[in-house]
């Protein structure tokens, strides 16, 4: 009897202390910290502190939101709502991803990532060249012959001829510094860019055709593609590493949570599939 009485007393004390430690659902507490958050949010939006009247309005709006939120939950409006479900999923994934904020990869981590994905960060080949332009509008079908004659003069005279005096006026750049193939194509077209890759450096060559006409081209420098050094792509590699780390944490956390559930997929029967297909037939 003594043990039963003591047990009942402990239960009663625990019951009432637990009730006292948690505000009932009918109570809305607007703490000083919450009011400070509301004021900070106002200040960030309007770049000034709220007046006393504005702050009272913010508090009242928060209370209104809390009342309507609780009433919506009580009515079950959050159940079977696709938008709410997606929002809750996104919020939980965002909270999970925040775990990577405290993770700072070392240079060794980034170097291992770069070595594993070297093709993604590979430095592309580049070409630097000069060009002499022959207009298709001006020369027509004889443009190739005009360019070939100019090439013969350049080859025969060597450095004794001024290349700038040859060809036609154009808005295209006469000289391009080291540039990637896509950059060359954006200025001269894909056909010209592909032809550049087959030219020998250190001498005039052509005619090379583009969508604008014909060109004589002097490739002054060419750098082959090569694996990038970490110092050159450090920020890009770090972004990729962090993104992969976020995905890894989200997927790992989901896998652990998934193990807590027994999933039953009630697939439609074969007969139901056949019936639905027969209904859709014209």
CATH number at residue 154: 3.10.50.40
- Mean per-residue pLDDT, 17-30: 62
Could you tell me if 76 and 83 are in contact, meaning their C-beta atoms sit under 8 angstroms apart? no
Is residue 45 included in any domain, yes or no? yes
Any domain includes 187: yes
Confidence of residue 59 (pLDDT cuts 50, 70, 90): very high
How far is the C-alpha of 198 from the C-alpha of 209, rounded, in Å? 13
From CA 83, how far away is CA 86, in angstroms rounded?
Answer: 5
Same domain, 75 and 155: no
Where a domain ends, among 223, 246, 266? Answer: 223
Q: What pTM did the predictor assign? A: 0.44
**Does 60 score more than 80 pLDDT?**
yes
Same domain, 61 and 148: no
Q: Which residue has the higher pLDDT, 51 or 6?
A: 51
**Domain match, 74 and 156 both:** no
As separate numbers, helices (DSSP H) first and strands (DSSP E) second, the chain gives: 11, 4
216 and 144, same domain (yes or no): yes
| DSSP SS3 for 231 | coil
Read off the pLDDT of each residue in 109-137 and give the average, rounded to a whole number.
85
Full domain range(s) for residue 63: 26-84
Average pLDDT over residues 251-270: 78
> Is-contact 135 213, C-beta < 8 A?
yes
State how many domains the chain has.
2
Look at residue 101 and tell me if it is in a domain.
no
Among 175, 172, 173, 167, CA closest to 139? 167
| Structural domain contains residue 199 | yes
Tell me the per-residue pLDDT of 197-216, one tens digit each, with 9 for 90 and over.
999 888 889 899 998 999 99
d(CA 68, CA 170): 69
In a domain, 118, yes or no: no
Residue 130 and residue 214 in one domain: yes
Residue 119 in any domain: the answer is no
CA 142 to chain centroid: 49
Evaluate whether residue 205 is within a structural domain: yes
Confidence of residue 193 (pLDDT cuts 50, 70, 90): very high
């Amino acid at each position: 009897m003594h043990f039963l009485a003591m047990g009942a007393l402990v239960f009663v004390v625990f019951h009432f202390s637990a009730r006292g430690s948690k505000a009932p659902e009918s109570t809305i507490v607007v703490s000083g910290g919450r009011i400070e958050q509301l004021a900070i949010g106002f200040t960030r939006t309007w770049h000034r502190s709220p007046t006393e009247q504005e702050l009272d309005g913010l508090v009242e709006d928060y209370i209104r939101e809390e009342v309507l939120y609780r009433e919506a939950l009580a009515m079950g409006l959050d159940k079977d709502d696709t938008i709410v479900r997606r929002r809750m999923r996104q919020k939980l994934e965002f909270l999970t991803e925040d775990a990577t904020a405290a993770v700072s990869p070392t240079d060794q981590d980034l170097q291992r990532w770069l070595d594993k994905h070297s093709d993604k960060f590979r430095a592309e080949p580049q070409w630097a060249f000069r060009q002499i332009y022959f207009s298709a509008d001006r020369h027509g079908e004889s443009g190739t012959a005009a360019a070939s004659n100019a090439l013969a003069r350049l080859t025969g005279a060597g450095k004794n001829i001024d290349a700038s005096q040859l060809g036609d006026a154009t808005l295209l750049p006469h000289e391009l510094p080291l540039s990637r193939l896509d950059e060359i194509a954006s200025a001269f077209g894909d056909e010209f860019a592909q032809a550049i890759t087959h030219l020998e450096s250190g001498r005039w060559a052509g005619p090379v055709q583009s969508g604008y006409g014909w060109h004589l081209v002097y490739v002054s420098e060419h750098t082959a593609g090569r694996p990038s050094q970490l110092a050159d792509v450090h920020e890009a590699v770090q972004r990729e590493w962090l993104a992969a780390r976020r995905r890894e944490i989200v997927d790992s956390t989901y896998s652990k949570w998934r193990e807590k559930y027994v999933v039953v997929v009630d697939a439609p029967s074969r007969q139901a599939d056949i019936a639905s297909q027969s209904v859709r037939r014209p």
